């Protein structure tokens, strides 16, 4: 069930309605085309050979036996691929990402890294060939933890000139005077928070298909969130111009941020196809999707805050330490965004924050929904809960008292628009009957219940880390129908539907008359990609601008036909009317070619370079802890989100519900584990990497507020993609405290942790 | 050495030439040309490849195609009642917004069909249990469960009307 508050009267015809999503008929009938569904005549199958050591020099690699196997068409190693240092995620070559990867190197830096690739006439033969490749490694000392990697004498994983295996120089954020702040405090609290290693675990394994034509042009199907970035990386590394690479993405089976990166196989696939002169398809197995994929940054956060007796925060100091794994990927961006986030959410004038990101020989951490903020707000929100108790406040009241307000300076250095967070907390308190629902550890039975609250705010767009841009082209055809060309990817969020709604609204035409062209870098305007909760906010605004341009052209064309000025005209439901008169004509009539005349060209272009807006949420959660098994069950979630104008309510709810599912997993069960002796992954599969499924998911009663629309977004819309995964974690941990009186300063909180803590608690009491 | 295996897929008798080690999933997707059934893991852990074989839902990645010789196979492509008439489950999945990325969707719809064929009037818990082997990473399952329950209710109403 969902409650959708209408705080202002709907003056919209299409926006704000849950129209039938334009992409779902294909999905429910099985006709949607994903990259893995592409089959081309003569297509070969590529496979990657992966390292069985975590850190080593490749002394010798012998592919002769593999090449001799019948059906094998090509084998690539570091000896015969171009050696070009490239970005792991080529966001306009920004400082958010590192340039530290080769297609194949003569050195491996993590267990499971690709060391060779084979193309063969079948997947089975390709796999057989992998076993025939002989690799001799000269092992190097390997480090898997931040401590070991920072220690004197630790192996240098990338020679980037920075000490202690740092991916980037420390991120330092200072505001006010933190010494003075602590001196003014009546009460100081500090704690250390340990972060596990969840992975995005999207359902569609990484996949690409490469085909070259006779003119040296590469057509490339890929499951990516950033088609233009893939195009750029392929062109740069392969040394070909951009117009010789065409990247196609129709549907994709989830990405959650991670599919902004390149995963070696894109280059290998293109090279194998070039070498064999045949199309090549490379699909990861599920195991490879874990091994060669990306995780959320694990690590540790030390956090200290000072408070006055009245609950005011006087100072905040933090040290954020992230484990980047073997490559940098989004490490700089994640460290910057996660660290800077601690300037806000709960107001504090005096902050000193330090963020570091460290190379190790662990799996690669990258971009993942919540981008550093999941980690830092987990620590912050847990500590606020604890401080509230110590100071004698109710946690929701305490968070409300300290909540970021309108006009406060956000992490991006922008003033906050609206009272989003306060509204969310108040509304959730009303809805739950807070504080009466709280248990304060009162339950004494085997199963004990508790309620918790967790809060978050998150920016739409990656500004100021990256200056982003969305572009759209809107064309009106001579029958009055509309074609929208957008560069933004269809991750499955319903973004293209939202964009169509925005175009329909702006033009005053029915939603059904809009069709979308997307996912083809040869055709659609450049787009930075789908991430950072900006698709509707940025891509939608670009579409709106393009539609407004077409609208102007149409009205100028129709005005003489209606004997009016363009200013006197409005378009409603596909009909152009002269306001205050009974004169009207349909759009189709207005733009139809006159006898013997060509059609008029109606094309609008929209470009939008956003700064930043913030969305807010407070999640209220009830849990039940089984004190015998240690199992924590989430019984219900009431997420309250403020996301500006909602374009498609059902799609927005879907984002919230799905984010909560992933967040429950992070907090209670998901942890991708490696052996600290060898670096070998221990749970690279769905049985051992435990995610919440249908039986685990609680009822979710979503409440969406539209109280703080952002002037930058289309009709005031803001992002929602990442927000839900941030607030749920601390809400659960705080609810567990309410149930059993134990504060876990870590995630995941597994049954083993619960049982161990209950034992310790019992001993303390005894 | 490939061999010829015949089976009835979505009501059509098909003879497929395939290697004996081929899974039914790969056979449907490659030799069968039916790519609606998805591969999320290939080892029986995710349910993306769920199809109905002789009336029972199975993970087609765990079935060898040769084992399906003579079987009646139903896949997502065969569910539509007519080209412009989606199955009630497909309608409900669209109406309730149950498909986000859509990669789990064909498998879950086939599982739901098998569930409703056997138990036309399931409780919410029975639906949750019925799709317990189908991983969806996008939706939190809320809208999937709503759609299945709504379909059951609609079908019941239609029957009693
Ligand atoms: S692909 Fe068959 S269960 Fe995952
Ligand atoms: S809709 Fe994406 S996995 Fe279910």
Domain assignment present for A647: yes
Task: Give the number of other CB atoms < 10 A from CB of residue A720.
Answer: 30
Residues B106 and B152 placed together within one structural domain of the fold: yes
Helices and strands per DSSP (H, E), number in chain B:
5, 5
Residues A631 and A683 placed together within one structural domain of the fold: yes
Q: A449-508 pLDDT, tens per residue?
A: 999 999 999 988 777 777 788 899 999 999 999 999 998 877 777 888 999 999 999 999
Whether the bond between A435 and the residue before it is cis, its omega within 30 degrees of 0, is yes
Q: What φ, ψ does residue A331 adopt, rounded to 5°?
A: -50, -50
Q: For residue A5, is pLDDT > 50?
A: no
Beta-carbon pairs below 8 A across chains A and B: 178
Interface check for A670 against chain B (CB to CB < 8 A): the answer is: no
Residues B71 and B101 placed together within one structural domain of the fold: no
pLDDT band at A10; cut points 50, 70, 90? low
| Mean pLDDT value of segment A708-725 | 91
Min mean pLDDT across A662-666, B2-6, B127-131 is at: B2-6
- ipTM of predicted assembly, 2 dp: 0.97
Query: What is the domain-level CATH number for residue B14?
Result: 3.10.20.30
Residues B103 and B56 placed together within one structural domain of the fold: no
| Domain final position from A362, A393, A424 | A393
Report helix, strand or coil for A534. coil
Residues A61 and A79 placed together within one structural domain of the fold: yes
- The tally of domains found in chain B comes to 2
Domain assignment present for B47: yes
Residues B100 and B55 placed together within one structural domain of the fold: no
Residues B105 and B137 placed together within one structural domain of the fold: yes
Whether the bond between A361 and the residue before it is cis, its omega within 30 degrees of 0, is no
Residues A621 and A755 placed together within one structural domain of the fold: yes
Ligand that lies nearest to the alpha carbon of residue B97, given by its number in the listed order: 2
Classify residue B17 by burial, with Cβ atoms within 10 Å: 0-12, 13-18, 19+. Answer: exposed
Non-local (6+) Cβ contacts of A326 within 8 A are A109, A110, A113, A157, A359, A360, A361, A362, A363, A364
Q: From CA A358, how far away is CA A156, in angstroms rounded?
A: 11
- The tally of domains found in chain A comes to 4
Residues A524 and A669 placed together within one structural domain of the fold: no
Domain assignment present for B81: no
Residue window 100-129, chain B: list those with CB within 8 Å of chain A. Answer: 100-106, 109, 127-129
Q: For residue A8, is pLDDT > 60?
A: no
Question: For position A564, what pLDDT does the model report?
Answer: 96
Say if CB A297 and CB A324 are below 8 A apart: yes
* Run of H or E including B158: helix B142-160
Domain assignment present for A193: yes
Residues A603 and A617 placed together within one structural domain of the fold: no
Query: What is the domain-level CATH number for residue B98?
Result: 1.10.150.120
Residues A161 and A136 placed together within one structural domain of the fold: no
Q: Mean pLDDT for chain A?
A: 94
Say if CB B115 and CB B131 are below 8 A apart: yes
* Run of H or E including A626: strand A613-626
Tokens for A479? 């029958």
Q: How many CA atoms lie within 13 A of A399 on its CB side?
A: 33
Interface check for A400 against chain B (CB to CB < 8 A): the answer is: no
Report helix, strand or coil for A558. helix
Q: For residue B118, is pLDDT > 60?
A: yes
Q: Which domain holds residue B134?
A: 88-160
Domain assignment present for A366: yes
Domain assignment present for A28: no
> Is the Cα dihedral A497, A218, A47, B27 positive or negative?
positive
Q: What is the 3-state secondary structure (H, E, C) of A682-694?
A: CCCCCCCCCCCCC
Angle between the B105-118 and B88-95 helix axes, to the nearest 10 degrees? Answer: 130
> Is the Cα dihedral A555, A556, A561, A567 positive or negative?
positive
Question: For position A9, what pLDDT does the model report?
Answer: 47
| Domain final position from A291, A306, A335 | A291
Report helix, strand or coil for B23. strand
> Is the Cα dihedral A673, A677, A680, A682 positive or negative?
negative
- How far, CA to CA in Å, does A483 sit from each of A248, A534, A541, A571, B86? 18, 22, 16, 17, 26
Residues B65 and B129 placed together within one structural domain of the fold: no
Q: Could you give the maximum distance between any two Cα atoms of chain B, in Å?
A: 55
- How far, CA to CA in Å, does B95 sit from each of A55, A650, B109, B151? 51, 9, 14, 11
- How far, CA to CA in Å, does B133 sit from each of A87, A289, A611, B129, B136? 38, 20, 43, 8, 10
Q: Mean pLDDT for chain B?
A: 96
Q: A285-327 pLDDT, tens per residue?
A: 999 999 999 999 999 999 999 999 999 999 999 999 999 999 9
Tokens for A204? 């569609």
Residue A697 has its nearest CB partner, among B36, B46, B141, at: B141
Residues B135 and B111 placed together within one structural domain of the fold: yes
Cβ contact B103–A37 (<8 Å): no
- How far, CA to CA in Å, does B90 sit from each of A541, A566, B109? 32, 44, 7
DSSP A173-236: EEES-HHHHHHT-SEEEEEEEEE-------SS--EEEEEE-TTS-EEEEE--S-HHHHHHHHHH
| Mean pLDDT value of segment A668-677 | 97
| Domain final position from B11, B44, B76 | B76
> Structure pTM?
0.96
* First-to-last C-alpha distance (Å) of chain A: 46
Residues A379 and A420 placed together within one structural domain of the fold: no
Q: How far is the CA of B59 from the centre of ligand 1 (A)?
A: 6
For ligand 1, whether the C-beta of B116 sits within 6 Å is no
| Domain final position from B19, B51, B76 | B76
Range list of H helices, A292-372: 331-341
Q: From CA A513, how far away is CA A500, in angstroms rounded?
A: 9
The DSSP output letter for B33 is: -
Residues B95 and B145 placed together within one structural domain of the fold: yes
Domain assignment present for A588: yes
Cβ contact A686–B46 (<8 Å): yes
Q: Which of B32, B142, B33, B41 is nearest to A650 (CA)?
A: B142
Q: Which domain holds residue A310?
A: 142-199+295-393
Residue A253 has its nearest CB partner, among B77, B79, B101, at: B101
Report helix, strand or coil for B160. helix
* Strands, E assignment, A477-528: 482-486, 514-518
Tokens for A502? 């925005």
For ligand 2, whether the C-beta of B40 sits within 6 Å is no
Q: For residue A7, is pLDDT > 50?
A: no
| Mean pLDDT value of segment A708-733 | 93
Domain assignment present for A20: no
- Residues shown for chain A: 766
Q: How far is the CA of B137 from the centre of ligand 2 (A)?
A: 5
Q: A91-103 pLDDT, tens per residue?
A: 877 888 999 999 9
Q: A416-455 pLDDT, tens per residue?
A: 888 899 999 999 999 999 999 999 999 999 999 999 999 9
| Mean pLDDT value of segment A127-155 | 98
Would residue B97 be called left, alpha or beta, if left means φ above 0 and alpha means ψ between -120 and 50 degrees? left
Q: B24-76 pLDDT, tens per residue?
A: 999 999 999 999 999 999 999 999 999 999 999 999 999 999 999 999 999 99
Q: Whose CA is nearest to atom 3 of ligand 2?
A: B136
| Mean pLDDT value of segment A129-134 | 98
Residues A237 and A192 placed together within one structural domain of the fold: no
Residues B117 and B151 placed together within one structural domain of the fold: yes
Beta bridge partners of A319: A302, A354
| Mean pLDDT value of segment A31-55 | 97
Query: Which of B49, B133, B137, B148 to mutate for ligand 2's pocket (most ligand atoms within 8 Å of CB)?
Result: B137
Domain assignment present for A405: no
The DSSP output letter for A242 is: G
Interface check for B39 against chain A (CB to CB < 8 A): the answer is: yes
Percent of chain A surpassing pLDDT 90: 86
- How far, CA to CA in Å, does A307 sit from each of A311, A346, A352? 6, 12, 15
Question: For position A594, what pLDDT does the model report?
Answer: 85
Q: For residue A188, is pLDDT > 90?
A: yes
Residues A665 and A738 placed together within one structural domain of the fold: yes
Interface check for A765 against chain B (CB to CB < 8 A): the answer is: no
Query: Which of B23, B48, B110, B134 to mutate for ligand 1's pocket (most ligand atoms within 8 Å of CB)?
Result: B48
Residues A308 and A287 placed together within one structural domain of the fold: no
Classify residue B1 by burial, with Cβ atoms within 10 Å: 0-12, 13-18, 19+. Answer: exposed
Tokens for A269? 């696939």
Report helix, strand or coil for A98. coil
Residues B106 and B131 placed together within one structural domain of the fold: yes
Q: From CA B119, how far away is CA A188, in angstroms rounded?
A: 59
Question: For position A480, what pLDDT does the model report?
Answer: 95
Tokens for A29? 């009938």
| Mean pLDDT value of segment A653-661 | 97
Say if CB A227 and CB A242 are below 8 A apart: no
Min mean pLDDT across A44-58, A264-278, A486-500, A504-518 is at: A486-500
Question: For position A619, what pLDDT does the model report?
Answer: 98
Q: From CA A447, how far away is CA A426, in angstroms rounded?
A: 29
pLDDT band at A260; cut points 50, 70, 90? very high
| Domain final position from A259, A291, A323 | A291
Domain assignment present for A108: yes
- How far, CA to CA in Å, does A518 sit from each of A247, A476, A485, A528, A530? 11, 16, 6, 13, 12
Q: Which residues of B touch A205 (CB under 8 A)?
A: 39-40
Residues A270 and A225 placed together within one structural domain of the fold: yes
Q: Which residues of A touch B99 (CB under 8 A)?
A: 24, 27-28, 492
Would residue A24 be called left, alpha or beta, if left means φ above 0 and alpha means ψ between -120 and 50 degrees? alpha
Alpha-carbon A501 to chain mean position = 23
| Domain final position from B43, B76, B109 | B76
Residues A754 and A685 placed together within one structural domain of the fold: yes
For ligand 2, whether the C-beta of B147 sits within 6 Å is no
Alpha-carbon B150 to chain mean position = 18
């Amino acid at each position: 069930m969902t409650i959708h508050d209408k705080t202002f009267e709907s003056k919209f015809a299409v926006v704000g309605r849950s129209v039938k999503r334009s992409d779902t008929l294909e999905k429910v009938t099985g006709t949607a085309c994903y990259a893995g569904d592409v089959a081309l005549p003569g297509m070969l199958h590529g496979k990657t050979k992966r390292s069985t050591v975590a850190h080593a020099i490749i002394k010798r690699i012998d592919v002769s036996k593999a090449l001799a196997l019948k059906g094998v068409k090509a084998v690539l190693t570091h000896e015969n691929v171009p050696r070009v240092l490239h970005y792991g995620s080529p966001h306009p070559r920004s400082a958010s990402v590192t340039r530290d990867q080769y297609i194949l190197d003569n050195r491996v830096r993590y267990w499971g890294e690709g060391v060779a690739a084979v193309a063969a006439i079948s997947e089975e033969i390709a796999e057989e060939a992998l076993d025939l490749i002989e690799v001799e490694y000269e092992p190097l000392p390997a480090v898997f933890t931040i401590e070991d990697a920072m220690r004197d004498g630790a192996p240098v994983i990338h020679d980037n000139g920075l000490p202690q295996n740092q991916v980037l120089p420390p991120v330092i954020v200072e505001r006010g005077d933190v010494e003075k702040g602590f001196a003014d405090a009546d009460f100081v609290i500090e704690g250390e928070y340990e972060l596990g290693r969840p992975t995005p675990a999207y359902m569609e394994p990484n996949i690409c298909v490469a085909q070259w034509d006779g003119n040296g042009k590469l057509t490339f199907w890929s499951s990516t969130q950033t088609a233009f970035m893939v195009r750029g990386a392929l062109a740069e590394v392969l040394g070909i111009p951009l117009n010789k690479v065409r990247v196609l993405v129709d549907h994709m089976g989830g990405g959650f941020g991670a599919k902004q990166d390149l995963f070696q196989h894109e280059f290998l696939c293109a090279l194998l196809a070039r070498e064999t002169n045949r199309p090549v398809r490379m699909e990861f197995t599920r195991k490879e999707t874990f091994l060669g994929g990306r995780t959320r940054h694990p690590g540790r956060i030390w956090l200290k805050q000072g408070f006055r007796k009245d609950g005011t925060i006087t100072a905040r100091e933090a040290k954020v330490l992230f484990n980047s794994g073997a490559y940098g990927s989004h490490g700089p961006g994640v460290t910057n965004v996660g660290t800077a986030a601690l300037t806000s959410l709960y107001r504090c004038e005096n902050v000193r924050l330090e963020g570091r990101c460290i190379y190790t020989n662990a799996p690669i951490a990258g971009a993942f929904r919540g981008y550093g903020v999941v980690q830092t707000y987990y620590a912050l929100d847990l500590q606020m809960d604890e401080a509230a108790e110590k100071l004698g406040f109710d946690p929701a009241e305490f968070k409300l008292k300290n909540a970021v307000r309108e006009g406060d300076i956000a992490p991006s250095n922008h003033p906050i628009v609206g009272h989003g967070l306060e509204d969310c907390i108040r509304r959730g308190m009303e809805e739950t009957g807070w504080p009466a629902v709280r248990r304060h550890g009162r339950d004494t039975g085997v199963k004990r219940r508790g309620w918790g609250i967790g809060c978050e705010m998150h920016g739409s767009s990656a500004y100021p880390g990256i200056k982003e841009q969305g572009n759209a082209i809107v064309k009106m055809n001579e029958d009055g129908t509309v074609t929208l060309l957008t560069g933004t990817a269809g991750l499955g969020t319903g973004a293209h539907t939202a964009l169509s709604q925005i175009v329909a609204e702006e033009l005053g035409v029915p939603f059904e008359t809009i069709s979308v062209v997307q996912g083809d870098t040869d055709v659609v305007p450049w787009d930075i990609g789908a991430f950072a909760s900006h698709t509707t906010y940025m891509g939608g605004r670009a579409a709106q601008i393009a539609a407004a341009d077409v609208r102007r052209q149409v009205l100028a064309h129709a005005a003489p036909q209606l004997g009016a000025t363009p200013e006197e005209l409005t378009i409603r439901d596909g009909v152009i009317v002269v306001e205050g008169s009974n004169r009207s004509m349909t759009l189709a009539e207005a733009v139809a070619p006159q006898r013997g005349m060509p059609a008029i060209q109606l094309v609008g272009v929209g470009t939008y370079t956003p700064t930043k807006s913030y969305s807010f949420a407070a999640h209220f959660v009830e849990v039940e802890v089984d004190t015998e098994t240690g199992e924590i069950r989430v019984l219900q979630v009431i997420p309250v989100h403020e996301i500006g104008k909602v374009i498609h309510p059902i799609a927005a709810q879907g984002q919230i519900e799905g984010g909560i599912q992933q967040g429950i997993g992070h907090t209670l069960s998901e942890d991708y584990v490696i052996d600290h002796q060898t670096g070998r992954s221990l749970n690279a599969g769905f049985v051992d990497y435990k995610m919440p499924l249908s039986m685990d998911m609680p009822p979710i009663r979503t409440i969406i507020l539209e109280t703080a629309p952002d002037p930058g977004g289309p009709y005031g819309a803001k992002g929602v993609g990442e927000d839900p995964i941030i607030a749920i974690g601390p809400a659960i941990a705080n609810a567990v405290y309410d149930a059993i009186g134990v504060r876990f300063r870590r995630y995941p909180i597994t049954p083993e942790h619960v049982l161990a803590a209950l034992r310790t608690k019992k001993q303390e009491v005894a | 050495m490939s061999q010829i295996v015949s089976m009835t897929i979505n009501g059509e008798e098909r003879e497929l030439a395939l290697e004996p080690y081929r899974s039914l999933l790969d056979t449907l997707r490659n030799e069968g040309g039916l790519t609606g059934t998805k591969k999320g893991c290939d080892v029986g852990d995710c349910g993306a490849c769920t199809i109905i074989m002789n009336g029972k839902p199975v993970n087609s990645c765990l079935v060898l195609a040769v084992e399906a010789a003579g079987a009646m196979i139903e896949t997502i492509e065969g569910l539509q009642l007519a080209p412009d008439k989606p199955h009630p489950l497909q309608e409900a999945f669209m109406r309730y917004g149950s498909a986000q990325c859509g990669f789990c969707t064909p498998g879950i719809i086939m599982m739901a069909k098998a569930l409703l064929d056997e138990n036309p009037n399931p409780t919410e818990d029975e639906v949750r249990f019925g799709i317990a082997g189908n991983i969806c990473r996008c939706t939190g399952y809320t809208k999937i469960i709503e759609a299945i329950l709504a379909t059951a209710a609609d079908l019941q109403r239609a029957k009693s009307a």
